[in-house]
Structure 1
Protein backbone atom coordinates (compact mmCIF):
# COMPACT_ATOMS: atom_id res chain seq x y z
CA UNK A 1 0.00 0.00 0.00
CA UNK A 2 2.88 2.39 0.70
CA UNK A 3 4.22 2.04 -2.83
CA UNK A 4 0.76 2.85 -4.21
CA UNK A 5 0.69 6.02 -2.10
CA UNK A 6 4.09 7.09 -3.48
CA UNK A 7 3.00 6.33 -7.06
CA UNK A 8 -0.19 8.37 -6.58
CA UNK A 9 1.78 11.25 -5.06
CA UNK A 10 4.29 11.21 -7.94
CA UNK A 11 1.43 11.01 -10.43
CA UNK A 12 -0.16 14.04 -8.77
CA UNK A 13 3.10 15.93 -9.32
CA UNK A 14 3.37 14.97 -12.97
CA UNK A 15 -0.30 15.56 -13.79
CA UNK A 16 -0.15 18.85 -11.91
CA UNK A 17 2.75 19.96 -14.09
CA UNK A 18 1.10 18.83 -17.32
CA UNK A 19 -2.31 20.30 -16.46
CA UNK A 20 -0.80 23.57 -15.26
CA UNK A 21 1.26 23.88 -18.45
CA UNK A 22 -1.77 23.12 -20.65
CA UNK A 23 -4.12 25.53 -18.93
CA UNK A 24 -1.50 28.25 -18.35
CA UNK A 25 -0.94 28.63 -22.08
CA UNK A 26 -4.62 29.40 -22.44
CA UNK A 27 -4.75 31.62 -19.32
CA UNK A 28 -6.64 34.50 -20.89
CA UNK A 29 -9.36 32.42 -22.52
CA UNK A 30 -9.41 29.40 -20.19
CA UNK A 31 -12.64 29.53 -18.18
CA UNK A 32 -12.68 29.12 -14.41
CA UNK A 33 -14.22 25.69 -14.86
CA UNK A 34 -11.11 24.55 -16.77
CA UNK A 35 -8.88 25.75 -13.92
CA UNK A 36 -11.08 23.98 -11.37
CA UNK A 37 -11.10 20.74 -13.36
CA UNK A 38 -7.33 20.89 -13.81
CA UNK A 39 -6.82 21.52 -10.08
CA UNK A 40 -9.17 18.69 -9.13
CA UNK A 41 -6.89 16.03 -10.65
CA UNK A 42 -3.89 16.49 -8.33
CA UNK A 43 -6.20 17.17 -5.37
CA UNK A 44 -7.93 13.82 -5.83
CA UNK A 45 -4.61 12.03 -6.37
CA UNK A 46 -3.08 13.50 -3.21
CA UNK A 47 -6.19 12.59 -1.24
CA UNK A 48 -6.04 9.02 -2.52
CA UNK A 49 -2.31 8.86 -1.74
CA UNK A 50 -3.01 9.94 1.84
CA UNK A 51 -5.65 7.23 2.21
CA UNK A 52 -3.31 4.55 0.86
CA UNK A 53 -0.52 5.84 3.07
CA UNK A 54 -2.72 5.53 6.18
CA UNK A 55 -3.85 2.02 5.31
CA UNK A 56 -0.44 0.33 5.26
CA UNK A 57 2.30 -0.41 7.74
CA UNK A 58 4.99 2.24 8.28
CA UNK A 59 7.15 2.58 5.18
CA UNK A 60 10.89 1.98 5.16
CA UNK A 61 13.37 4.84 4.74
CA UNK A 62 13.83 4.39 0.98
CA UNK A 63 10.08 4.65 0.32
CA UNK A 64 9.80 7.70 2.58
CA UNK A 65 12.72 9.37 0.77
CA UNK A 66 11.07 8.75 -2.59
CA UNK A 67 7.78 10.04 -1.21
CA UNK A 68 9.55 13.14 0.12
CA UNK A 69 10.94 13.96 -3.32
CA UNK A 70 7.52 13.36 -4.89
CA UNK A 71 5.91 15.59 -2.25
CA UNK A 72 8.17 18.53 -3.08
CA UNK A 73 7.46 18.16 -6.81
CA UNK A 74 3.73 17.81 -6.15
CA UNK A 75 3.74 20.82 -3.84
CA UNK A 76 5.29 22.99 -6.54
CA UNK A 77 3.34 21.84 -9.58
CA UNK A 78 -0.10 21.29 -8.09
CA UNK A 79 0.08 24.43 -6.00
CA UNK A 80 0.07 26.67 -9.05
CA UNK A 81 -3.12 25.03 -10.26
CA UNK A 82 -4.87 25.15 -6.91
CA UNK A 83 -3.91 28.77 -6.18
CA UNK A 84 -4.87 30.01 -9.65
CA UNK A 85 -8.18 28.13 -9.58
CA UNK A 86 -9.07 29.71 -6.23
CA UNK A 87 -8.06 33.14 -7.46
CA UNK A 88 -10.28 32.66 -10.51
CA UNK A 89 -13.17 31.66 -8.23
CA UNK A 90 -12.58 34.82 -6.18
CA UNK A 91 -13.14 36.88 -9.34
CA UNK A 92 -16.46 35.28 -10.23
CA UNK A 93 -19.32 37.72 -10.31
CA UNK A 94 -17.11 40.78 -10.72
CA UNK A 95 -17.43 43.15 -13.58
CA UNK A 96 -14.71 43.82 -16.11
CA UNK A 97 -13.12 46.37 -13.80
CA UNK A 98 -13.17 44.29 -10.63
CA UNK A 99 -13.71 46.41 -7.51
CA UNK A 100 -12.86 49.75 -9.16
CA UNK A 101 -16.25 51.29 -8.57
CA UNK A 102 -16.22 50.53 -4.86
CA UNK A 103 -12.58 50.81 -3.76
CA UNK A 104 -10.93 52.94 -6.40
CA UNK A 105 -8.40 50.18 -7.00
CA UNK A 106 -6.81 50.51 -10.42
CA UNK A 107 -6.16 46.80 -10.94
CA UNK A 108 -8.38 44.61 -13.07
CA UNK A 109 -9.04 41.45 -11.07
CA UNK A 110 -7.62 39.45 -8.21
CA UNK A 111 -6.72 36.65 -10.62
CA UNK A 112 -4.83 38.99 -12.97
CA UNK A 113 -1.15 37.99 -12.73
CA UNK A 114 -0.15 41.63 -13.15
CA UNK A 115 -1.79 42.42 -9.79
CA UNK A 116 1.28 40.97 -8.05
CA UNK A 117 3.90 40.37 -10.70
CA UNK A 118 6.15 37.35 -10.24
CA UNK A 119 3.55 35.55 -8.14
CA UNK A 120 3.96 32.24 -9.95
CA UNK A 121 7.70 32.12 -9.31
CA UNK A 122 7.40 33.36 -5.75
CA UNK A 123 4.63 30.83 -5.08
CA UNK A 124 6.77 27.97 -6.36
CA UNK A 125 9.65 29.05 -4.13
CA UNK A 126 7.27 29.42 -1.21
CA UNK A 127 5.94 25.87 -1.66
CA UNK A 128 9.49 24.50 -1.90
CA UNK A 129 10.35 26.30 1.34
CA UNK A 130 7.23 25.05 3.11
CA UNK A 131 7.70 21.46 1.95
CA UNK A 132 11.40 21.34 2.79
CA UNK A 133 10.99 22.85 6.26
CA UNK A 134 8.21 20.42 7.12
CA UNK A 135 10.09 17.43 5.72
CA UNK A 136 13.18 18.49 7.70
CA UNK A 137 11.11 18.44 10.87
CA UNK A 138 11.44 22.20 11.35
CA UNK A 139 7.87 23.60 11.24
CA UNK A 140 9.17 26.87 12.66
CA UNK A 141 10.65 27.45 9.21
CA UNK A 142 7.15 28.27 7.99
CA UNK A 143 7.37 31.53 9.91
CA UNK A 144 10.60 32.38 8.12
CA UNK A 145 9.24 31.53 4.67
CA UNK A 146 6.01 33.45 5.15
CA UNK A 147 7.75 36.35 6.87
CA UNK A 148 10.18 36.83 3.99
CA UNK A 149 7.33 36.69 1.50
CA UNK A 150 5.25 39.18 3.48
CA UNK A 151 8.11 41.63 3.89
CA UNK A 152 9.00 41.39 0.22
CA UNK A 153 5.43 42.10 -0.85
CA UNK A 154 4.60 44.67 1.83
CA UNK A 155 4.85 47.80 -0.37
CA UNK A 156 2.46 46.30 -2.94
CA UNK A 157 -0.19 45.17 -0.44
CA UNK A 158 -1.79 48.58 -0.03
CA UNK A 159 -3.95 47.98 -3.09
CA UNK A 160 -7.08 45.97 -2.12
CA UNK A 161 -6.85 43.58 -5.08
CA UNK A 162 -3.18 42.93 -4.34
CA UNK A 163 -3.87 42.22 -0.67
CA UNK A 164 -6.71 39.87 -1.56
CA UNK A 165 -4.57 38.08 -4.14
CA UNK A 166 -1.73 37.77 -1.62
CA UNK A 167 -3.95 36.25 1.07
CA UNK A 168 -5.80 33.82 -1.20
CA UNK A 169 -2.68 32.78 -3.08
CA UNK A 170 -0.58 32.34 0.05
CA UNK A 171 -3.18 30.32 1.93
CA UNK A 172 -3.89 28.09 -1.06
CA UNK A 173 -0.19 27.64 -1.72
CA UNK A 174 0.76 26.82 1.87
CA UNK A 175 -2.19 24.50 2.47
CA UNK A 176 -1.42 22.62 -0.74
CA UNK A 177 2.25 22.17 0.22
CA UNK A 178 1.20 20.97 3.68
CA UNK A 179 -1.21 18.47 2.11
CA UNK A 180 1.48 17.10 -0.21
CA UNK A 181 3.92 16.70 2.69
CA UNK A 182 1.13 15.24 4.81
CA UNK A 183 1.16 12.16 2.58
CA UNK A 184 4.77 11.53 3.64
CA UNK A 185 3.72 11.73 7.28
CA UNK A 186 1.00 9.13 6.67
CA UNK A 187 3.76 6.74 5.59
CA UNK A 188 5.56 7.13 8.94
CA UNK A 189 2.75 5.94 11.16
Structure 2
Protein backbone atom coordinates (compact mmCIF):
# COMPACT_ATOMS: atom_id res chain seq x y z
CA UNK A 1 0.00 0.00 0.00
CA UNK A 2 2.77 2.43 0.84
CA UNK A 3 4.34 1.77 -2.55
CA UNK A 4 1.14 3.05 -4.21
CA UNK A 5 1.23 6.16 -2.04
CA UNK A 6 4.86 6.88 -2.89
CA UNK A 7 4.15 6.29 -6.58
CA UNK A 8 1.27 8.77 -6.70
CA UNK A 9 3.18 11.21 -4.51
CA UNK A 10 6.19 11.17 -6.86
CA UNK A 11 4.10 11.69 -10.00
CA UNK A 12 1.96 14.39 -8.38
CA UNK A 13 5.00 16.19 -6.97
CA UNK A 14 6.82 16.28 -10.30
CA UNK A 15 3.76 17.76 -12.02
CA UNK A 16 3.46 20.40 -9.29
CA UNK A 17 7.13 21.29 -9.70
CA UNK A 18 6.70 21.58 -13.46
CA UNK A 19 3.83 23.97 -12.88
CA UNK A 20 5.49 26.12 -10.22
CA UNK A 21 9.10 26.21 -11.40
CA UNK A 22 10.21 27.48 -14.80
CA UNK A 23 13.97 27.83 -14.26
CA UNK A 24 16.33 25.41 -12.57
CA UNK A 25 13.97 22.48 -12.85
CA UNK A 26 16.73 19.89 -12.94
CA UNK A 27 17.92 20.97 -9.49
CA UNK A 28 14.36 21.01 -8.14
CA UNK A 29 13.69 17.53 -9.53
CA UNK A 30 16.93 16.21 -8.04
CA UNK A 31 16.18 17.67 -4.61
CA UNK A 32 12.63 16.30 -4.70
CA UNK A 33 13.91 12.85 -5.72
CA UNK A 34 16.44 12.77 -2.88
CA UNK A 35 13.78 13.93 -0.42
CA UNK A 36 11.35 11.24 -1.55
CA UNK A 37 13.98 8.50 -1.29
CA UNK A 38 14.94 9.77 2.17
CA UNK A 39 11.32 9.68 3.30
CA UNK A 40 10.87 6.22 1.84
CA UNK A 41 13.99 5.07 3.70
CA UNK A 42 12.44 6.36 6.92
CA UNK A 43 9.35 4.33 6.05
CA UNK A 44 11.48 1.24 5.40
CA UNK A 45 10.40 1.30 1.76
CA UNK A 46 13.48 2.61 -0.04
CA UNK A 47 13.03 0.28 -3.01
CA UNK A 48 9.49 1.53 -3.51
CA UNK A 49 10.76 5.12 -3.28
CA UNK A 50 13.42 4.57 -5.94
CA UNK A 51 10.90 2.91 -8.25
CA UNK A 52 8.48 5.80 -7.67
CA UNK A 53 11.17 8.30 -8.70
CA UNK A 54 11.86 6.28 -11.85
CA UNK A 55 8.16 6.18 -12.75
CA UNK A 56 7.87 9.94 -12.18
CA UNK A 57 10.81 10.52 -14.53
CA UNK A 58 9.13 8.44 -17.23
CA UNK A 59 5.85 10.30 -16.62
CA UNK A 60 7.49 13.65 -17.35
CA UNK A 61 8.57 12.34 -20.75
CA UNK A 62 5.36 10.62 -21.88
CA UNK A 63 3.05 13.32 -20.44
CA UNK A 64 4.42 16.73 -21.56
CA UNK A 65 3.12 19.97 -20.12
CA UNK A 66 1.73 21.16 -23.43
CA UNK A 67 0.50 19.40 -26.54
CA UNK A 68 -0.82 15.87 -26.82
CA UNK A 69 0.59 13.05 -24.72
CA UNK A 70 3.05 10.84 -26.55
CA UNK A 71 1.10 7.68 -25.73
CA UNK A 72 -2.44 9.00 -25.30
CA UNK A 73 -4.24 7.67 -22.25
CA UNK A 74 -1.99 4.63 -21.91
CA UNK A 75 0.33 6.23 -19.29
CA UNK A 76 -2.67 7.04 -17.13
CA UNK A 77 -4.04 3.51 -17.43
CA UNK A 78 -0.66 1.95 -16.65
CA UNK A 79 -0.17 4.22 -13.65
CA UNK A 80 -3.60 3.24 -12.31
CA UNK A 81 -2.81 -0.45 -12.79
CA UNK A 82 0.56 -0.04 -11.08
CA UNK A 83 -1.01 1.70 -8.07
CA UNK A 84 -3.72 -0.95 -7.81
CA UNK A 85 -1.13 -3.71 -8.09
CA UNK A 86 0.87 -2.16 -5.25
CA UNK A 87 -2.20 -2.25 -3.03
CA UNK A 88 -2.98 -5.86 -3.97
CA UNK A 89 0.56 -7.21 -3.67
CA UNK A 90 1.57 -5.32 -0.51
CA UNK A 91 -1.54 -4.12 1.37
CA UNK A 92 0.31 -3.69 4.67
CA UNK A 93 3.74 -4.09 6.25
CA UNK A 94 4.99 -5.51 9.51
CA UNK A 95 7.92 -3.03 9.69
CA UNK A 96 6.75 0.57 9.41
CA UNK A 97 10.22 2.14 9.71
CA UNK A 98 11.29 5.07 11.88
CA UNK A 99 8.63 7.42 10.51
CA UNK A 100 5.99 4.74 10.95
CA UNK A 101 7.00 4.15 14.55
CA UNK A 102 6.85 7.89 15.26
CA UNK A 103 3.42 8.02 13.61
CA UNK A 104 2.20 5.13 15.78
CA UNK A 105 3.44 6.91 18.89
CA UNK A 106 1.95 10.34 18.27
CA UNK A 107 -1.11 9.87 16.05
CA UNK A 108 -4.41 10.73 17.74
CA UNK A 109 -6.08 7.39 17.01
CA UNK A 110 -5.36 3.77 16.25
CA UNK A 111 -7.40 3.36 13.07
CA UNK A 112 -5.08 5.05 10.55
CA UNK A 113 -1.71 3.43 9.84
CA UNK A 114 1.24 5.22 8.28
CA UNK A 115 0.64 3.21 5.09
CA UNK A 116 -2.88 4.62 4.75
CA UNK A 117 -1.69 8.12 5.60
CA UNK A 118 0.98 8.03 2.86
CA UNK A 119 -1.55 6.68 0.37
CA UNK A 120 -4.02 9.47 1.17
CA UNK A 121 -1.31 12.13 0.86
CA UNK A 122 -0.16 10.61 -2.42
CA UNK A 123 -3.70 10.68 -3.80
CA UNK A 124 -4.23 14.29 -2.72
CA UNK A 125 -0.98 15.47 -4.32
CA UNK A 126 -1.75 13.55 -7.51
CA UNK A 127 -5.25 15.02 -7.78
CA UNK A 128 -3.89 18.58 -7.80
CA UNK A 129 -1.84 19.03 -10.98
CA UNK A 130 -1.58 15.47 -12.30
CA UNK A 131 -5.36 15.33 -12.32
CA UNK A 132 -5.26 18.34 -14.64
CA UNK A 133 -2.91 16.42 -16.92
CA UNK A 134 -5.27 13.45 -17.03
CA UNK A 135 -8.20 15.69 -18.00
CA UNK A 136 -6.11 17.47 -20.61
CA UNK A 137 -5.08 14.16 -22.21
CA UNK A 138 -8.70 12.99 -22.34
CA UNK A 139 -9.88 16.26 -23.88
CA UNK A 140 -7.21 16.23 -26.56
CA UNK A 141 -7.79 12.56 -27.29
CA UNK A 142 -11.52 13.06 -27.83
CA UNK A 143 -11.74 16.59 -29.21
CA UNK A 144 -8.37 17.14 -30.88
CA UNK A 145 -7.85 20.71 -32.07
CA UNK A 146 -11.33 21.69 -30.89
CA UNK A 147 -10.03 21.53 -27.32
CA UNK A 148 -7.78 24.52 -27.91
CA UNK A 149 -8.27 28.13 -27.04
CA UNK A 150 -7.54 30.60 -24.26
CA UNK A 151 -8.21 29.68 -20.69
CA UNK A 152 -8.65 26.02 -19.85
CA UNK A 153 -11.56 25.18 -17.59
CA UNK A 154 -9.95 22.09 -16.06
CA UNK A 155 -6.25 22.49 -16.82
CA UNK A 156 -5.44 26.00 -18.00
CA UNK A 157 -3.95 24.43 -21.12
CA UNK A 158 -6.51 24.68 -23.92
CA UNK A 159 -10.18 25.38 -23.71
CA UNK A 160 -13.16 27.15 -25.20
CA UNK A 161 -12.74 30.81 -24.20
CA UNK A 162 -15.98 31.06 -22.22
CA UNK A 163 -15.22 28.22 -19.79
CA UNK A 164 -12.60 29.82 -17.56
CA UNK A 165 -11.35 29.48 -14.00
CA UNK A 166 -10.75 25.75 -14.23
CA UNK A 167 -7.10 25.77 -13.24
CA UNK A 168 -8.33 26.36 -9.70
CA UNK A 169 -11.79 24.82 -10.02
CA UNK A 170 -10.52 21.46 -11.28
CA UNK A 171 -8.15 20.62 -8.39
CA UNK A 172 -10.57 21.90 -5.76
CA UNK A 173 -13.36 19.89 -7.30
CA UNK A 174 -11.31 16.69 -7.33
CA UNK A 175 -10.16 17.13 -3.73
CA UNK A 176 -13.74 17.78 -2.65
CA UNK A 177 -15.07 14.72 -4.46
CA UNK A 178 -12.25 12.61 -3.00
CA UNK A 179 -12.85 13.75 0.58
CA UNK A 180 -16.65 13.54 0.41
CA UNK A 181 -16.47 10.05 -1.06
CA UNK A 182 -14.11 8.77 1.64
CA UNK A 183 -16.23 10.28 4.39
CA UNK A 184 -19.42 8.81 2.94
CA UNK A 185 -21.12 12.19 2.45
CA UNK A 186 -22.83 11.04 -0.74
CA UNK A 187 -25.79 13.40 -0.45
CA UNK A 188 -23.50 16.41 -0.18
CA UNK A 189 -21.39 15.02 -3.01
CA UNK A 190 -24.42 14.77 -5.29
CA UNK A 191 -25.40 18.33 -4.37
CA UNK A 192 -21.93 19.64 -5.22
CA UNK A 193 -21.88 17.92 -8.60
CA UNK A 194 -25.38 19.15 -9.40
CA UNK A 195 -24.48 22.70 -8.37
CA UNK A 196 -21.54 22.66 -10.76
CA UNK A 197 -23.83 21.80 -13.66
CA UNK A 198 -26.23 24.55 -12.69
CA UNK A 199 -23.46 27.15 -12.45
CA UNK A 200 -22.04 26.19 -15.85
CA UNK A 201 -25.42 25.88 -17.58
CA UNK A 202 -25.67 29.53 -18.75
CA UNK A 203 -22.28 29.28 -20.47
CA UNK A 204 -23.08 25.93 -22.06
CA UNK A 205 -26.54 27.03 -23.19
CA UNK A 206 -24.99 29.78 -25.31
CA UNK A 207 -23.18 27.14 -27.36
CA UNK A 208 -25.81 26.70 -30.06
CA UNK A 209 -23.54 26.18 -33.08
CA UNK A 210 -21.50 23.02 -32.75
CA UNK A 211 -21.89 21.96 -29.11
CA UNK A 212 -18.15 22.08 -28.41
CA UNK A 213 -18.52 23.78 -25.04
CA UNK A 214 -21.06 21.24 -23.83
CA UNK A 215 -18.89 18.36 -24.99
CA UNK A 216 -15.84 19.95 -23.40
CA UNK A 217 -17.66 20.43 -20.10
CA UNK A 218 -19.00 16.87 -20.03
CA UNK A 219 -15.71 15.18 -20.93
CA UNK A 220 -13.66 17.34 -18.56
CA UNK A 221 -16.06 16.97 -15.65
CA UNK A 222 -16.60 13.23 -16.03
CA UNK A 223 -12.89 12.48 -16.33
CA UNK A 224 -12.17 14.70 -13.34
CA UNK A 225 -14.83 12.97 -11.25
CA UNK A 226 -13.74 9.48 -12.29
CA UNK A 227 -10.14 10.32 -11.35
CA UNK A 228 -11.23 11.43 -7.88
CA UNK A 229 -13.51 8.43 -7.38
CA UNK A 230 -10.75 6.06 -8.49
CA UNK A 231 -8.37 7.60 -5.95
CA UNK A 232 -10.98 7.30 -3.21
CA UNK A 233 -11.63 3.67 -4.16
CA UNK A 234 -7.90 2.95 -4.04
CA UNK A 235 -7.73 4.26 -0.47
CA UNK A 236 -10.86 2.33 0.51
CA UNK A 237 -9.42 -0.81 -1.03
CA UNK A 238 -6.11 -0.32 0.75
CA UNK A 239 -7.79 0.18 4.12
CA UNK A 240 -9.93 -2.94 3.78
CA UNK A 241 -7.16 -5.03 2.22
CA UNK A 242 -4.83 -4.14 5.07
TM-score (normalizing by structure 2): 0.59
**Residue deviations 1:147-168 (CA, integer Å, cap 9, x gap):** 1211211111111221111100
Q: CA RMSD in A?
A: 3.0
Q: Any idea what SS the aligned residue of 1:140 has?
A: helix
Pairing 1:165–2:216 present: yes
Structure 1 residue 9 corresponds to structure 2 residue 3: no
Aligned equivalents of 1:6 and 1:141: distance in 2?
A: 27
Match of 1:139 in 2: 186
Q: Give 1:115 shift.
A: 3.9
Q: Distance in 2 between matches of 1:56 and 1:168?
A: 34
Distance, in Å, in 2 between the alignment partners of 1:77 and 1:93 is 22
Instruction: Name the structure 2 match of 1:100.
Output: none
Does the 8 Å contact 1:86/1:168 carry over to 2?
yes
Closer/same/farther in 2, CA of residues 57 and 128 from structure 1, 3 Å limit: closer
Structure 2 portions without partners, runs of 5+: 23-59, 94-111, 150-157
Q: In the alignment, is the contact (CA less than 8 A) between 1:5 and 1:53 conserved in 2?
A: yes
In the alignment, the residues of structure 1 paired with residue 195 and residue 68 of structure 2 have an alpha-carbon distance, to the nearest angstrom, of 30
Contact 2:123 2:231 in 1 (8 A): yes
1:7-52 alpha-carbon deviations (Å, 9 max, x no partner) = 11212322343466789xx97xx43235x56x75555334312111
Structure 1 residues 116 and 93: alpha-carbon distance in aligned structure 2, compared to 1, 3 A threshold: closer
Q: Bigger shift: 166-175 or 12-21?
A: 12-21
Q: Which runs of 5+ in 1 are unaligned?
A: 98-110
**Mapped pair 1:66 → 2:65:** no
Q: State the Cα deviation string for residues 63-87 of structure 1 (Å, max 9, x = none).
A: 2122112212212222101111111
Give the number of aligned pairs: 168
**Counterparts of 2:174 and 2:116, CA distance in 1:** 19
Structure with higher RCO (Cα < 8 A, 6+ apart): 1
Q: 2:88 aligns with which of 54, 66, 73?
A: 54
C-alpha distance 115-40 of structure 1, shift in aligned 2 (>3 A)? farther
* 1:149 paired to 2:185: no
2:228 equivalent to 1:177: yes
Using the TM superposition, name which of 12-21 and 171-180 deviates more: 12-21
Q: 1:10 to 1:123 in 2, by over 3 A?
A: same
Q: Which residue of 1 aligns with 2:138?
A: 86
Single out whichever of 138-147 and 127-136 deviates more from structure 2. Answer: 138-147
Tell me, in whole angstroms, the C-alpha distance in 1 between the residues paired with 2:202 and 2:134.
Answer: 26
Instruction: Quickly say closer, same or farther: Cα 1:3–1:73, change in 2 above 3 A.
Output: same
Q: TM-score, normalised by structure 1?
A: 0.73
